[in-house]
Amino acid sequence: MNPSPTTKPFSVLSVIPPMTQLNTPYPSTAYLTGFLRSRGVTATQEDLALKLVLCLFTPQGMTQIKDKALALPEGKRSASVHFFLDFFERYENTIAPTIAFLQGKDSTLSHRIAGRGFLPEGPRFTALDAYDDGESADPLAWAFGALGQQDRARHLATLYLNDLADVLRDAVDSRFEFVRYGESLAGSQATFEPLANALAAPLTLMDETLQALTLKAIEQHQPSLVLLSVPFPGAVYAAFRIAQCIKRHHPHIHIALGGGFVNTELRELTEPRVFDYVDFVTLDSGERPLLALLEHLQGQRAAGAPAHQLQGGAFRFR
């Protein structure tokens, strides 16, 4: 547990929790960070959804996933898990260059990927058989033609990653998907109980990795306030895991919860346990409630000011 700093200037860290679309950065934290900087506030941002995947999809991450898969009884291993274990060395050798290709760092790999001899082709690749008309040796020719090598390679690399996502779901954490993580814990739930139970459960490899990334981000940025931007129900569980980690290791840091999901689903918040994890919930457009919150935290706004109201032991800013 770190002592609260006494002279450090006030700073804000905006965080996108897992999971969101990896190839389309969600703009909320970039917008809020730019807005705060325009007001003279020290502000930074982190996309922990992207960092979580990039951390797991490495040779070291493949080994961690393999260890979890081997711990499963053989009868409980899915076809995806069996294939991953059978072709583990190929996954270990191809994951880093494939990620580099998808990030635009090595376009020269497209020829090898498109040639269908480089990547291990697991269960997700069986869908390619549906495109085989029996006349062409290339089932993807109709979609990409002779000039679509880069797009063809990206499609095949995506199938490869989807195979790995299935392994993560089947062997590591059943709540994981690329665009959502633990969505059923937040979407259309009548009570907070399912989420509370999940947060009280032992950490999975996904949770442990996310916790390490959270602590690294806190150490790097040393924020006074962490903003958790939650656009979808598939990011709620991870947001609360991040908040839980910060509260445990850095209890002096303030945490605010906001974003599209919060605006639509938490408008009539009555569950006090939410505030075991976060200190504030902000609603509606991000700028005005955020400025009100910053003024409050820096002693420039009284607790009874009309821009916010006390609820459940914390302030909910409008």
pLDDT given for residue 22 in this prediction:
76
For residues 112 and 153, what is the distance between their CA atoms, to the nearest angstrom? 8
Contacts of 43 (CB under 8 A, 6+ apart): 11, 12, 13, 14, 32, 33, 36, 37
- 194 and 171 together in one domain: no
Is 191 a domain residue? yes
> Residue 302 has what pLDDT?
66
Domain end among 176, 197, 224: 176
Are residue 124 and residue 190 in the same domain, yes or no?
no
Same domain, 111 and 134: yes
Sign of dihedral through CA atoms 266, 272, 274, 278? Answer: positive
pLDDT at 140: 62
Whether 211 and 139 map to the same domain: the answer is no
Q: How far apart are the first and last CA of the chain?
A: 32
Look at residue 139 in the predicted model and tell me its pLDDT: 58
Residue 84 lies in a domain: yes
Same structural domain, 43 and 190:
yes
Give the residue from 209, 251, 206, 207 showing the smallest Cα distance to 226: 251
Considering the domain architecture, whether residues 312 and 236 belong to the same structural domain is answered as yes
Structural domain for 21, as ranges:
11-50+186-317
The pLDDT assigned to 310 comes to: 41
Q: Which residues of the chain have pLDDT under 70?
A: 1-7, 129-147, 179-190, 286, 302-318
Q: Do residues 310 and 194 share a domain? A: yes
Q: Look at residue 307 in the predicted model and tell me its pLDDT.
A: 43
Residues 84 and 193 both lie in one domain: no
**How confident is the model over 29-78, as pLDDT tens digits?**
999 999 999 999 999 999 999 999 999 999 999 999 999 999 999 999 99
- 22 with 167, same domain: the answer is no
Is residue 33 assigned to a domain? Answer: yes
Could you tell me if residue 3 is inside a domain? no
Please classify residue 80 by burial: count the beta carbons closer than 10 Å to its beta carbon, then call 0-12 exposed, 13-18 middle and 19+ buried: buried
Which of 176, 207, 227 lies at the terminal end of a domain, its last residue?
A: 176
- Position 1 in a domain: no
In 3-state terms, what secondary structure has residue 304? coil
Q: What is the CATH number of the domain that holds 246?
A: 3.40.50.2300
Flag whether 298 is in a domain. yes
Domain end, chosen from 176, 210, 225, is at: 176
| CA–CA dist 311, 318 (Å, integer) | 12
Question: Would strands 225-229 and 42-47 be described as parallel, antiparallel, or unpaired?
Answer: unpaired
Judge if 191 and 100 occupy the same domain. Answer: no
Q: Which amino acid is at 315?
A: F
Shared-domain flag, residues 46 and 191: yes
**44 and 193 belong to one structural domain:** yes
Inside any domain, residue 215: yes
Summarize pLDDT for 101-133 with one digit per residue, the tens: 999 999 999 999 998 899 999 999 998 866 555
Say how many domains are in the chain: 2
**Where does the chain show beta strands of DSSP type E?**
11-16, 42-47, 225-229, 254-258, 280-282, 308-311, 314-317
**pTM for the complete prediction?**
0.85
Tell the residue number behind the tokens 């800013």, with chain if given: 317
